[in-house]
Amino acid sequence: MDNCFLVCVNFALVAKDVTATLQQKGMGRPLVAATQTEAIAALQTLTGDGVLRIAVVQMPPALFAASPLHTVLKVLGVPVILLDDGPASEATDMVYRILSLPFFTEDLERVIVELMHKS
């Protein structure tokens, strides 16, 4: 089984930090993209034994809800963490959580643990 995670973040430094944190948490092999088009293309590379464990996406909740990436991740049933630079809010769709930028590594780790216990 090939465990993977998706990081779709347009700031390279943030993407590297998120990727390192997810690898330290044992989430598997990273699929890293700067845009949702790149993210969908990366997801299409998953083979039959590939399991996407979590996705971290930098996008406002309203845009994410209407995006093709949301549709793909929802079909896959993948827990999603949204990174948003707007005011802090809770997602109404409990399939994903929102972290406001900037955030600490500890904040990301806490949300990962919460989401993994729900799935």
Task: To the nearest 10°, report the CA torsion of 103, 25, 14, 48.
Answer: -130
DSSP strand pairing (50-58 vs 80-84) = parallel
Q: What is the pLDDT along the chain (119 residues), one digit of tens a residue?
A: 689 999 999 999 999 999 999 999 999 999 999 999 999 999 998 877 778 999 999 999 989 999 999 999 999 999 999 999 876 555 445 467 889 888 899 999 999 988 887 75
pTM metric for this prediction = 0.90
Domains along the chain with CATH numbers = 2-118 (3.40.50.2300)
